[in-house]
């Protein structure tokens, strides 16, 4: 197949024109259809007979959920956590925080009071019922995360002269042109569509309405189109208040631009509205666990080895405060450490589980938070939350879904990358990443130059306590390793987003923790398996 | 044309299958393309020479904006308001409030503390820049109004056995089936599509992605489809965590159902995300004006007559407290009364303006607020905000866009009708309307019966201070009357949503007020016309 440029590389570049949407979309396809949740209720745990202790490794969301449920049920729980904070990848950066990557200069965050940036998870699909259960139970206030914003921008350097287009125009024009084409195909009857007469009539009606077509089935500037596409001159009041309809983008350029990838992106199950975020920052969730399990957590405790025999589990760890070694003994162990960390420990488990721990790749991802002196995206461009996509390296810009119309500085997500782009940026210093995000972002928002204040960047592959963003299951790995990874290994069972089919989402961590405590509970009551 | 039922009536019924969406959509088409706003900034007003007084009639949003701007500029403003409150149709009902319609028993609102219901305007498009300006200026906190919710329900009594369908399934299947049909049409080449070879390739790629088609261009249950349509068995954790893709709705039934009308509805310019609501209730906007103009308002003042001569304007009114008559003299008058009210007054204006005042029809509309003992729509059905549509009389059910996951009672919009349905319900007592809403709503949410607590209903045609919901401009009326309606008549100028091209939206009231103050200001400085 020969394309316009005559090269496969050119073809791929064109296919990936709106690389922002497409890269994330592709990433999702590789995440084992990471999506929603089979949570219905917290599994009932029976009070253990006598003292039964559980060592939980890692105070990320999986470790927090596991220790919360086990301690509620009467288990004796101790949590070992490497960091000086709980939450793991459930993290929010605010002014005064310090972010440390391996081999990068430490970054001090300079955001204004009240501003924040979620470098890890930042949104919660409505169907992540397990996570929502804990938000409701622990009183975490949720607010909508604006995922689809018709006034956000889609940008391809190679199309429309590099001018960003409104999502509205792309979505409405795409619906209109394809409806027009199909209407023509049906009307000419030159084609065996396989539609009955009734269905033909129904489809034509639907196309006319959803495509904003005129009565003859054409998509062109008209009052009907203006109902969806808006106006060149907006309606107003006074004698000159009459509006003028806008004109559609040229069909060929629209189709060649690839900007329609954003439509598919927003329609994926994981991205469909209603989407949530915790008010005040994602770490409001992990913070809400503190009153319940905070006293069980030993911070600054670096696990070195996990040993087990028929009587129990021993976890050797280093107290980072003073470098002393200690051992935690327990009847069972729930290990909620990220696999790249776990893979480096001495771990007394089956060879199958060892192979699984070492056999699952991790995504790299980079996020960049930029603070500007004012919310120019709202004040100048009427963009309130949502995401703009670009085929530049930064892939996307996302605007805060809170504090709308407020004065003073605001923080946006100035870049969010997976895959090759993330690898590329992870090789830079944080300052270089921020400089890149500023340069590329200015192609979409010229106000960047004047309004920039400060920024922070995270390359998850360089974060010492995860060494990656999240699990990247291939179909092959799923087939070979999944059952071995999630099955209890004598007295040790794994938890974390990697130990689920909802990889890379907090929901996976929650569900895996519930699975782990169920298995521990069954074993504590004499069952060989859950 | 003969359809399945052989009658035109049957055809129309089928066309209007999802009457909820279609009725509102049709209503919008008749509103003069009521949509967005041409607001860019508040027009600068010059300080008047000496004392210049303005009588503002009506303390709804138009009257409030006009008095705010004029008093800021140094004009001497007095506002006459019929009600004992300011805000007009910008109103929120809470427990303890009393609602009075003409010829209906008064309704006392029994909502639990913190719950509320907006019987008038309830959402703000992001492009209503004038209204947003005042929210920002006056410090009104805004939060997203969830307009499109993929997990909301679409219900047609005559289709799918009366079982409500998820918006997600309808939207994704419609996109998939139409993409499949067009792909087939393009591939068979039996048709002159008018597509170049390049464009053909681009369109096929776009269809495959946006329609979740398989590589052969077919729409059927698959992993690709599951990325948008979700799963029959959701992904989880543990050994049985693997998901099972869901299956699409049958194409013929989907197309015949008319449920796709909701897709077009959500894509209209007025309904596109990001949509807002003031946190705490719509009347937070009118309340925010009180510190600035509250002292200018004479409440419980019923206007009887507007007179004018070359020296000024005289407004006769009745003090409702004690029934005494009074007259307000001013240099100019901004009349922001709804037209059905103004049409009943003695009004000394040109015959053209009189004809305009009497020549514009008003919409009837009915809204019903229902409080339930718990938020079953969230707890049982995972519906967080958004709208479910039905072809029953109630037309739609909308869920609160705030207080997500909270315990205790919640208030939803149990019905919202325009046109014939509104007329039908306006003929009922409030109790009868609520009974109807409960009965019809139970077809969508069986929990209605057990969980119902109390309700309130408004029929705007029976509200004594508006006698209708909002202006219903025909093209004919627009041509004959618009210019006469918005042009200053000697010393009197009209304001209100009716005096704009953004009819039935608060933005129209704002823009009309800015137009009115601009005209008054020009006249005060010696101009004959604005």
Q: Is the pLDDT of residue A8 over 90?
A: no
Distance from the B28 Cα atom to the nearest Cα atom in chain A, whole angstroms = 8
The residue of B13, B238, B377, B471 whose CB has the most chain A CBs within 10 angstroms, and thus the best one to mutate to test that interface, is B238
Closest partner residue to A210 (CB to CB) among B126, B195, B263 is: B263
* Phi, psi angle pair for B80, to nearest 5°: -105, 130
Closest CA to B329 of B301, B304, B350, B308: B308
User: Which pLDDT does position A49 carry in this prediction?
Assistant: 84
Question: Tens digits of per-residue pLDDT, B259-278?
Answer: 999 999 999 999 999 999 99
Question: Among positive and negative, which fits the CA dihedral B231, B233, B237, B239?
Answer: negative
C-beta pairs of B39-43 under 8 Å, 24+ apart in sequence: B39/A236, B39/B128, B39/B129, B39/B130, B39/B133, B39/B507, B39/B510, B39/B511, B39/B514, B40/B129, B41/B133, B42/B69, B42/B133, B42/B514, B43/B514, B43/B517, B43/B518, B43/B521
Residues of B in contact with A334 (CB under 8 A): none
Residue A362: pLDDT over 60: yes
- Tens of pLDDT along B314-353? 999 999 999 999 999 999 999 999 999 999 999 999 999 9
Report chain B residues whose CB lies below 8 A from the CB of A530: 238
- Is the pLDDT at A388 greater than 60? The verdict is yes
For B315, list phi and psi in degrees, rounded to 5. -115, 115
Q: What is the model's pLDDT at position A16?
A: 37
Q: Does the structure show a pLDDT above 80 at A23? A: no
In this structure, are residues B279 and B259 in contact, taking their beta carbons and an 8 Å threshold? no
Residue B53 in this model has a pLDDT that exceeds 60: yes
Which pLDDT band, with edges at 50, 70 and 90, does A517 fall under?
very high
Mean pLDDT of B370-379: 98
What domains appear along chain B, each with residue ranges and CATH number? 53-88+284-361+472-524 (3.50.50.60), 93-151+274-282+365-462 (3.90.660.10), 167-257 (1.20.1440.240)
pLDDT digits (tens, 9 = 90+) for A496-509: 999 999 999 999 99
Q: Confidence band (pLDDT; 50, 70, 90) for A5?
A: very low
Q: Given an 8 Å threshold on Cβ–Cβ distance, is B237 in contact with A500?
A: yes
Closest in B146, B206, B252 to A274, CB measured: B146
Q: What is the mean pLDDT of residues A292-306?
A: 98
Nearest residue in chain A measured CA to CA from B191? A190
**What is residue A37's predicted lDDT score, i.e. its pLDDT?**
54
Residue of A35, A41, A274, A387 to mutate, testing the B interface (most B Cβ within 10 Å of its Cβ): A274
Residue among B174, B199, B514 minimizing CB distance to A252? B199
DSSP character string of A322-365: TTEEEEEEESEEEE---HHHHTTSEE---HHHHHHHHH-EEE-E
In whole angstroms, how far apart are CA A455 and each of A9, A373, A421, A458? 34, 12, 19, 10
Residue A190: which pLDDT band, with cuts at 50, 70 and 90? low
pLDDT, tens digit (0-9, with 9 covering 90-100), for A28-62: 433 333 334 568 788 889 999 889 999 999 999 99
Smallest Cβ–Cβ distance between B126 and the set A223, A382, A401 belongs to A382
State percent of chain A over pLDDT 70.
Answer: 91
Model confidence at B493: pLDDT above 80 = yes
Contact (CB<8Å) A192/B190: yes
Is residue A298 scored above 50 in pLDDT?
Answer: yes
What is the predicted pLDDT for the residue at B10? 33
The answer to whether the CB of B467 falls within 8 A of the CB of B364 is no
Q: According to the model, what pLDDT value does residue A507 have?
A: 97
What stretches of A116-213 show up as alpha helix (H) in DSSP? 129-138, 167-188, 197-210
* Shortest Cα–Cα distance, B66 to chain A (Å): 14
Q: A-B interface: how many C-beta pairs under 8 angstroms?
A: 349
State whether residue A301 is helix, strand or coil.
strand
Could you tell me the sign of the dihedral formed by the alpha carbons of B469, B474, B477, B481, in that order? positive
Whole-angstrom distance, CA of residue B290 vs CA of residue B56: 15
Kindly give, in sequence order, each residue whose CB lies less than 8 Å from that of residue B470, ignoring residues fewer than 6 positions away.
B89, B362, B363, B365, B460, B497, B498, B503, B504
- Is the CB of A273 less than 8 angstroms away from the CB of B202? no
| Residues in chain B within 8 Å Cβ distance of A151 | 126-127, 272, 274
Label residue A223 by pLDDT band (50, 70, 90).
confident
- ipTM of predicted complex: 0.92
Confidence of residue B37 (pLDDT cuts 50, 70, 90): low
**Dihedral pair phi/psi, residue A342, rounded to 5°:** -60, -35
Partner-chain contact B236 A132, CB within 8 Å:
no
* B470–chain A nearest CA distance, Å: 15
Closest Cα in chain B to A386: B274
**Burial of residue A216 (number of CB atoms within 10 Å: 0-12, 13-18, 19+):** exposed
Pairing assessment for the beta strands B297-298 and B301-308 based on DSSP bridges: unpaired
Kindly state the average pLDDT of the residues A409-422: 97
Q: What is the mean pLDDT of residues A420-445?
A: 97
* pLDDT of the residue at A188: 84
Q: A505 CA to chain B: closest CA distance, Å?
A: 11
Q: Report the pLDDT value the prediction gives residue A224, as an integer from 0 to 100.
A: 84
B114 and B129 Cβ atoms separated by less than 8 Å? no
| Strand bridging mode A361-363 / A324-330 | unpaired
Whether residue B237 and residue A267 make contact (CB cut-off 8 A), yes or no, is no
Cβ B267–A172 below 8 Å, yes or no? yes
* Per-residue pLDDT tens over the stretch A263-291: 999 999 999 999 999 999 999 999 999 99
Question: What average pLDDT score do residues B392-409 get?
Answer: 97
**Cross-chain residue pair A255–B206, CB shorter than 8 Å:** yes
Q: If pLDDT is split at 50, 70 and 90, which confidence band does A192 have? A: low
Instruction: Say whether pLDDT at A70 is over 60.
Output: yes
Question: What are the chain B neighbours of A38 within 8 Å (beta carbons)?
Answer: 233-236, 241, 243
With a cut of 60, say whether residue B247 has pLDDT above it: yes
Q: What is the pLDDT of residue B40?
A: 79
pLDDT-based confidence at residue B20 (cuts at 50, 70, 90): very low
Distance from CA of A59 to the nearest CA of B (A): 19
Give the confidence band of B407 by pLDDT, cuts at 50, 70, 90. Answer: very high
Q: How far apart are CA B515 and CA A291, in angstroms?
A: 56
């Amino acid at each position: 197949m020969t394309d316009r440029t005559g090269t496969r590389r050119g073809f791929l570049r064109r296919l990936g024109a709106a690389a922002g949407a497409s890269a994330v979309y592709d990433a999702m396809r590789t995440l084992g259809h990471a999506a929603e949740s089979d949570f219905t209720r917290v599994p009932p745990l029976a009070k253990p007979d006598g003292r039964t202790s559980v060592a939980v490794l890692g105070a990320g969301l999986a470790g927090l959920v596991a220790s919360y449920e086990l301690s509620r049920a009467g288990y004796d729980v101790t949590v070992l956590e490497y960091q000086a904070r709980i939450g793991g990848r459930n993290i929010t950066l605010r002014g005064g925080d310090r972010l440390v990557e391996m081999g990068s200069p430490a970054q001090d965050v300079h955001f204004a009071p009240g501003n924040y940036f979620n470098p890890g998870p930042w949104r919660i699909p409505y169907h992540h019922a397990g996570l929502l259960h804990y938000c409701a139970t622990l009183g975490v206030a949720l607010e909508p995360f604006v995922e689809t914003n018709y006034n956000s921008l889609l940008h391809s350097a190679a199309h429309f002269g590099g001018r960003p287009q409104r999502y509205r125009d792309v979505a409405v024009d795409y619906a209109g042109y394809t409806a027009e084409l199909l209407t023509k195909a049906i009307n000419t009857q030159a084609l065996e569509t396989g539609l009955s007469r009734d269905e033909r009539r129904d489809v034509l009606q639907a196309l006319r309405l959803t495509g904003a077509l005129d009565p003859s089935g054409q998509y062109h500037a008209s009052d009907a189109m203006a109902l969806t596409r808006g106006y060149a001159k907006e309606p107003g009041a006074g004698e000159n208040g009459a509006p003028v309809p806008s004109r559609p983008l040229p069909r060929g350029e629209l189709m060649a631009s690839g900007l329609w990838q954003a439509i598919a992106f927003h329609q994926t199950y994981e991205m469909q509205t209603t989407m949530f975020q915790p008010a005040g920052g994602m770490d409001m969730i992990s913070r809400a666990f503190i009153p319940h399990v905070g006293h069980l957590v030993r911070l600054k405790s670096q696990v070195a080895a996990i040993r087990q025999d028929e009587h129990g589990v021993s976890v050797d760890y280093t107290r980072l405060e003073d470098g002393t070694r200690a051992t935690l003994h327990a009847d069972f162990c729930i290990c909620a450490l990220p696999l790249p960390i776990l893979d480096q420990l001495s771990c007394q488990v089956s060879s199958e589980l060892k192979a699984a721990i070492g056999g699952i790749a991790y995504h790299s991802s980079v996020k960049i938070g930029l603070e500007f002196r004012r919310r120019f995206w709202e004040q100048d461009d009427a963009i309130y939350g949502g995401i703009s996509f670009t085929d530049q390296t930064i892939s996307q810009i996302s605007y805060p879904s809170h504090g709308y119309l407020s004065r003073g500085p605001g923080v946006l997500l100035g870049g969010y990358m997976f895959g090759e782009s993330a690898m590329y940026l992870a090789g830079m210093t944080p300052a270089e990443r921020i400089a890149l995000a500023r340069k590329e972002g200015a192609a979409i928002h010229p106000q960047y130059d004047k309004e920039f204040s400060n920024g922070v960047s995270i390359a998850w592959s360089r974060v010492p306590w995860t060494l990656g963003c999240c699990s990247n299951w291939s179909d092959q790995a799923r087939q070979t390793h999944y059952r071995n990874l999630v099955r209890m290994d004598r007295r040790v069972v794994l938890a974390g987003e990697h130990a689920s089919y909802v990889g890379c989402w907090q929901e996976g961590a929650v569900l895996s923790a519930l699975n782990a405590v169920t298995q521990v509970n069954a074993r504590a009551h004499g069952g060989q398996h859950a």
